[in-house]
Structure 1
Amino acid sequence: MSRAHRDGADDRFAGSATSCSRRRALVLAEEHVSQLRQQGVEIVTGGVRELETVRAFVAGAQGTALIHMAAVIHPKTVAQFEAINARH
């Protein structure tokens, strides 16, 4: 089974991954996900800095593609930039 997993989900991406048989998106709680749900995208709610949420997001994803789309480009601090954009 081919699956695409991604974080930082938005509606613009959902249509471009339609060749996957299963898609999962990690989205913040305040994001609108109705179009993603209509396209059959499995939603995991949370943020990339929440370890347990990320674990739930990637559970069962061995051998799949992870497309990282979460980013902060105007952080208030270097620490905020690294927390979102860099792996420690």
Structure 2
Amino acid sequence: MPEKRVTVASKVGLHARPAALVAKAAAAQPVAVRIAKAGGEPVAAGSVLNLMTLAAAFGDEVVISAEGEGAEAAVDAVAKLVSTDLDTP
């Protein structure tokens, strides 16, 4: 199962606009993408509510994972967004 550890780059963490953008990208993947704070339980990354309740703040490390065909590309796509500052349009 491919997984990647990345640091949340958005100043507001995975909340509001960044959460919406990450959830939209995760939901668009051909496989289910999961995300967890380091050491925590994974949640579905395609849900804005899940991302917001994860309480991943700026600078927190998260683990993104997926299974199945296309999982590596899906993990890479979501990881790229999480590690980008998405606070401004």
TM (norm. structure 1) is 0.31
Give the greater-gyration-radius structure (CA).
Answer: 1
Higher relative contact order (CA 8 A, sep 6+): 2
